[in-house]
Each structure stands twice: as C-alpha cells, then as structure tokens.
Structure 1
Amino acid sequence: MERLSHWGEVWKEDLCSVEDPFLAVINVRRNLRSRGYVREIEGVTGLLRSCGLYTSRSLTGDEVEMALRPVGTGEWMLLKKEPFLSIDPDRYWFARMCRSKSERERLVSAGFVDSGPGKWKIVGIRINKGASSAAFIANFLASRGDEGRVFLSSGKDYANTTRTVTQKWVALDSQERDFAPSSAIHRYGVLRKTIQVYVEADDHWDISGASWHWRPVIANEVYEFKGE
C-alpha cells in the first residue's frame, strides 16, 4: 500500500518506509497523469489541496509539476511497504525534522506538549444522586403493582436516573498513528462532561429490538475527526 503524507505526520521510525524523493516524484507523476484511470495513491487529495489545486478533475501538465515540487523536496513523503530506496535524512531537511514516537510520548506524558491529535477517554463516571433519587422514588411506587417482583430487579426500576460521564483528551497510542491526520486537535488533559439518562430505547443487538441502557451511548474511547 502506497500513501502520501506530509512530513509532519511521519514518525522518524517510519523513514525506512519512505521512498527517496527522486523516485517518489516518478511514481506520483505517473499516478497524477493517470487520474481517473488507475487507483489513486492514498493522500493525493491532501497533497493537491495543500497546493491549492482542484481535487475532482484531471490536472494540466503545469499543475502536475506544481504538485510534484513538495514531493521532490521531501515535504510530502511517499510511504511504501517496500521502498526501492529509502529517504536519506542527511540529504533532506524535512526527514531530519521528523519526530520520534518515543520522544513525543515522553513529552506528552511530561506535559510539555500542550495540544495535538488524540481521542476522548472516559476517566470518571458519577451517579447524580440528587436528580436520581426522585426517579427511584417514582419507580419504587410504580413497582408496587408488580406482585412478587423484587425492586431493582428490572431495568425499568432505574428509569430516568442520570449520571455524568467525564472524558479526557489524551494522545493517540503508537498503533493509532494513522488516525492523526484526520483527528481533531484539542489541548491534552482538557475534560468534557456528558449527562446520560437510563431509558428503554432501540437496540438492534437485542432480540426484542429494545433494551434498558444509558443514553447517549458513549464508548470508553471516542475518536473525534476534523469538522465534527
């Protein structure tokens, strides 16, 4: 799989998979001239946008050469599973500027990196006791009509109780690096809180088509993409 990435989105450890810019230009030129007829290299749209070029039509010869300039300087890198000749960092400034995964993770954990791509991770869940007490009382009174059933043995006994879920913006793990180019940017450590309500709602995984659960549904880790 071939992929074009801006140098700022390439780790130093991945430079062994970056094609030499001279050879990358040859590959990308061939792909740009054949747009619409061959499978486009992943990341081409981002390259064209960075050059202010149209992404939905064929390019003129001058436009192709304009798009190839940042590829030739190594500003945009062509990553391949098995490059013919890997980029030489001593010859290309952008390659020397690529960051190390381990160094970035150390800086993030030490608090020296303020913001960047990441994900929302649940760090706390708190039941709203005051607001939920009234719901429990109402549910208890309603359950008295269910003979032989122990209170709190059914999901409806928790109906309309609420809780607050706290999420923190944390850095992506090393294996999640591919999400970085499309990730939203927030300050690391910033918190957001969401109030959930326990209700009976649609559930396509349940045989009955509905189940009691917290809404809105929140995964333990949530990726936020640019523009969301």
Structure 2
Amino acid sequence: MSAALRRHPRFISLEGGEGAGKTTALNAIRAALQARGHEVVLTREPGGTPLAERIRALILTPDAEVANEPLSAEAELLLVFAARAQHVRQQIEPALARGGYVLSDRFTDSSYAYQGGGRGLDPAWIADLERRAVGLQPGLTLLLDVDVAVGRARASGRDLGPDRIESEQDDFFQRVRAVFRDRATDDPARFQLIDASQDQAGVAAQVVAAVTAYLSKEGGNG
C-alpha cells in the first residue's frame, strides 16, 4: 500500500502505561458518543479481530509449548504490527467507512513507547512499519498519564496476574512513559494529556470534556 499516513477524525485512541485507568475512560467516551447518536466500535490492541486476538495471546500470554522460548524485541514488534494490520483492514477501516466512530484501547503510539522506548528498537523502523503496514492515525489520542509507581500499584490490585509485558521492571515503564510524553509534546494537534493520577470519576470527566471539545472543533463530526 502507499507509504503515507492519514488521520481520520472519527478514530480516537487511548494510550497510557499500566494502571492508568483506560477501561473506565473508554466506557465514558463510548457513552458520550452514543448519547450523540453515533455508532461506536470499541476495540483494543493488540487484538480487535479473531486472528489479531490470537496474536495478542501469543505476545502476552504464550501457551506452554512456547512459553519458555524468549520472544525477541524484533519478533514482538513484528507480531504487534501483524495484528495491527489485520485490525485496521478488518475492523477499523470498515467501521470508519460506514460512518462510525472507532474507539481503540491503544494503537501505534504504544509501539513507539513499548517496543521503541521500552525495548530500545529504532523508532525509524517503527515509523516505516506504521506507514507501510498501517497507513492510519487517530484524529485524537488521549494520553492517560500517571506516575509509574502509582500505576503499577493500581495494576497489582487486579484479580488477573501480570502478563509478559506487565512483568517488566520499573525502568522499562519509565522509558515507556517518557516516550508517550515526548510524543504528546511533539504532536499537540493530535494528543490531549490527561492527568490520570486522580480518581476514576475525575479521569472520566476529563476525557469526556476533551472529546466534547474535539467534536466541537471538528464541527460536522460532532
């Protein structure tokens, strides 16, 4: 496909580190959009289609047959983009084409943060994959930012145990957070930084306000 990126105004992503509260925020945004009469497709990455969900499981919770084989950073990145390419073609683009809003828990910014910042892979390689395999960016990205120690303490309270990436050390997540924040600084037209240190109700109110302002700015899309 063409190695060009396009931003779609009805595509909204949420990003952030562990324990940032994305699930509550996503549900609040979906309710706000549906109240305006919009179709909303709520999805996630890696995942979003049956095949992409299989890839997600391979990355995050590998089965016993491969669990003891270390997954290289390069293989991790390529698997994430394989899932993303499938997700875009089979889920995201069809929903946008029929006039719906797509609300995604993570998108390509997470690759820059986790595989670029966390794993140390070349961001130029990630950018090339983004152009060639994805070709699409959200019109709005909400970055739920929280101190790593606070976010990890929240995440440790979940019923489920940590997955392969959640099991990384604090310095990994500090690098992830730094890249997220740098990307938000470098692209203020797309990013809205959300203070996720507050309680869930406060975060939900802040993200809904940000989306409402975005819809007003976009005019006909709201």
Q: Same-fold call, TM > 0.5?
A: no
TM norm structure 1: 0.21
Which one has a bigger Cα radius of gyration? 1
- Structure that is richer in strand per residue: 1
Bigger relative CO (Cα 8 Å, ≥ 6 apart): 2
TM norm structure 2: 0.22
